Amino acid sequence: MLTTKELQYQYPKGKKIDFPDFSLQQGETGLLLGESGSGKTTLLHILSGLRAPTAGVVQYDNTNLYQLSSGQRDAFRGKNMGLIFQTPAFIQSLSVLENLMAPLYLNHQLQDQHKAKHLLEKVGLYHKINQRPFQLSIGEQQRVSIIRAVIQSPQLIFADEPTSALDDKNAHQVIELLLNISAENKASLLVVTHDHRWSSFISKTIRL
Amino acid sequence: MNLILLAWKNIRHQWLDTLLGVLLLAFGLGTISMLILIEKQSSEQFNRNIKDIDMVLGAKGSPLQLILANVYHVDAPTGNIKIRDAKQVIYNPTVAMAIPLAYGDNFQQWRIVGTDSNYAQHYAMKLREGVAFKEEYDANIGADVAKATGLKLGDTFLSTHGLDQTENDEEHAHHHAYRVVGIFEKSGSVIDRLILTPLETIWHAHVYSEPASTEIEESNDSTNSPPPMIKKGPMMMLRPAKAMAPSPNDNKEVTAYLIKSRMAMAQMILPNLIKETNMQLAFTAIEVNRLSQNFGLGMDTVKAVAWVIIGLSFFSIFISLFNSLKKRKYELALMRSMGASPFKVFALIITESLLLVSTGIIFSWLFSRIGLSILSHQLNNSFHYTMNVKDFSIQEVYLTIAALLFGVIAALAPAINAYKMDISKTLAHE
């Protein structure tokens, strides 16, 4: 599904990082571990087409990500990837439900609300459907951002430190949700973290 | 969800940041829009009322006042002139038409004007009901007068001396009642706001208090009738000796004559004829041009201020979009990470600007109509003139298009910034 080869990134005014080659099969989960400043987020951005590597290949099945044009890469990301960030971010002017519909609109897909409502119900946030994101707790926001990442059934989910800002209770809820939801969607999951709470849930690790 | 809805929600979310820009734009555009309509309607009114009148013959004083008082009926007359003195002008071969006007009374502040049938004919007035005045104290009333006073055919009313006294001013009231014998259709001309009656009525009501019957009898004799309109035609090129002969009306007075000349030379010949008299000839083209220039100067000043306000409003919109871009940078990067193309983000910023400008345009339309309505109310109170609030000018369309175009220009820099944004750096807070 996802294969990387000889990936390298040179920061404009800094060090050069050589990333290890790795692959992730469909439905497989993996942990990307590393110290602060080791380039975890940079690698995640390279894998999701947000930042071009200095050298190397990112291959999705038969698609070489960086042989696509910028516009094609945006569309590819929109259709095939779901991104979750350390700090949940939303379009503040939209309600929870509208935020969940945003990826569908931005990728010209049918804005069917059923899945969003079903998932919100599943995570116990259906009653917050019309609230603004800032009215939710951090834990609730992260759960909503996970739903948003899977709303259009992507093949790959990238999560960047999704639990580092959460307490144990919320972190466990988010970990379980991410694992379950990616399994249900048969999506591959790559979690970038230095949060040890993940290690008991995912065995495959890639160290930087 | 769509682009417009998303843009609108973003604007609504930060409405306080954009309020000033929208209000400034609405005020600036509204002022320009109102001035456009004032210019259009006043120009239409001026042209409609001036209709082929080249000169006004009246008592010495301000020539502009003479024209405003006798053509537009918005100012006090300069005084009266004797028919005997006026004859040398109105019967001059260079004069094609001379309509006598005599006034000084009102009914509920609506002017009562003594004249002959040619005045109504000149403005192509049509009677909605009734007949043209014939006898003394017969009255033909304009459509606005009928509407405002509620006078109907056959109704009688008492006039009040002066041009602005009210009906309750008993001290100055005349005691001979007028009878409404005809009501004009609405024409858009000055006659809509006048009460017309034979000249004899005015003479009778004032210092010339000969019995009405005498004048009617005398009027059978053409030499004694009030100075008639001089008809067009080659026969009238010669000064009619009979008309110039002394008549019993010679000592009577009128307020003014509205004159249409037969040839351009009249403007040189006629003023020389009245040099040593208490009369003057005011040329409508010159005076209206002067008035327009003065009026235009004031309008231009207000317009210039309005354009500055519009400029400031676009600057304010530009600043608010830029600030909004700073605040929402991460949000826009998030949209890009979800698959939005750079063009979509660009289009979102442009759409937000266009929505802000459109809101300003809608409010400007309201402002201009409210302003026009207030002005119309004041004009109506002072001069019985009204402005058409529902009027529309093609220039307003150009103004709207220009405003939208400037909206796009104001949003270009923030939109290009959003287009070129480095998503990775923004998301990584680098």
Spatial CA neighbour of B423 closest among B341, B319, B327, B322: B341
Segment B82-92 mean pLDDT = 91
Say which residue the tokens 């030379």 belong to.
Answer: B265
Chain A residues with CB within 8 Å of chain B CB: 41-42, 45, 48, 50-51, 70-71, 74-75, 77-79, 83, 85, 89-94, 98, 101-103, 105-107, 111, 148
The whole-angstrom separation of Cα B308 and Cα B315 is: 11
Query: Would you state the pLDDT for residue B228?
Result: 47
Which residues pair with residue A16 across a beta bridge? A10
Rounded mean pLDDT for each run of 10 residues along chain A, 208 residues in total: 91 87 90 85 91 93 90 89 89 94 88 89 91 92 91 91 82 87 89 84 83
Number of compact structural domains in chain A: 1
Helix (H) or strand (E) holding B306: helix B284-327
Find the residue in A nearest to B427 (Cα).
A85
Helix (H) or strand (E) holding B159: strand B156-161
Query: Would you state the pLDDT for residue B55?
Result: 93
Select the residue from B10, B326, B337, B355 to test the A interface by mutation, using most A Cβ atoms within 10 A: B337
Say which residue the tokens 């497989």 belong to.
Answer: A28
Find the residue in B nearest to A97 (Cα).
B1
- Could you tell me the pTM of the whole model? 0.75
Rounded to 10 degrees, the C-alpha dihedral B326/B328/B329/B331 comes to: 170
Q: What are the phi and psi torsion angles at B280 (to 5°)?
A: -140, 155
Kindly provide the ipTM of the predicted complex, given to two decimals: 0.88
The better pLDDT of the pair B229, B128 is held by B128
Percent of chain A beyond pLDDT 70?
100
Select the residue from B329, B338, B419 to test the A interface by mutation, using most A Cβ atoms within 10 A: B338
Question: Given an 8 Å threshold on Cβ–Cβ distance, is A83 in contact with B338?
Answer: yes
Question: Given an 8 Å threshold on Cβ–Cβ distance, is B334 in contact with A90?
Answer: yes
pLDDT tens readout for residues B389-413? 888 899 999 999 999 999 999 899 9
The whole-angstrom separation of Cα B243 and Cα B9 is: 80
**Residues B236 and B93 sit within 8 Å (Cβ to Cβ):** yes
The whole-angstrom separation of Cα A163 and Cα A192 is: 10
**Full residue range of the structural domain in which residue A102 is found:** 27-36+69-207
Cβ-proximal residues to B187 (8 Å cutoff; 6+ apart), any chain: B123, B124, B125, B126, B142, B143
pLDDT bucket at B326, cuts 50 / 70 / 90 = confident
| Domain contains A151 | yes
Question: Given an 8 Å threshold on Cβ–Cβ distance, is B1 in contact with A111?
Answer: yes
| Domain contains A18 | no
| Domain contains A60 | no
pLDDT bucket at B225, cuts 50 / 70 / 90 = very low
Q: What is the pLDDT of chain B when averaged over all its residues?
A: 85
Q: Which residues of A touch B335 (CB under 8 A)?
A: 91, 102, 106
pLDDT tens readout for residues B24-50? 999 999 999 999 999 888 888 888 888
| Domain contains A54 | no
Question: Given an 8 Å threshold on Cβ–Cβ distance, is B342 in contact with A45?
Answer: no
**Residues A132 and A144 sit within 8 Å (Cβ to Cβ):** no
Percent of chain B beyond pLDDT 90?
49
Can you give the CATH number for the domain in which A81 is found?
A: 3.40.50.300
| Domain contains A7 | no
Q: What are the phi and psi torsion angles at B98 (to 5°)?
A: -140, 115
pLDDT tens readout for residues B281-297? 999 989 888 888 887 77
B236 pLDDT higher than 90:
no
pLDDT bucket at B355, cuts 50 / 70 / 90 = very high
Question: Given an 8 Å threshold on Cβ–Cβ distance, is A70 in contact with B424?
Answer: no
Query: Would you state the pLDDT for residue B174?
Result: 67
B226 pLDDT higher than 50:
no
Where does B284-381 show beta strands of DSSP type E? none
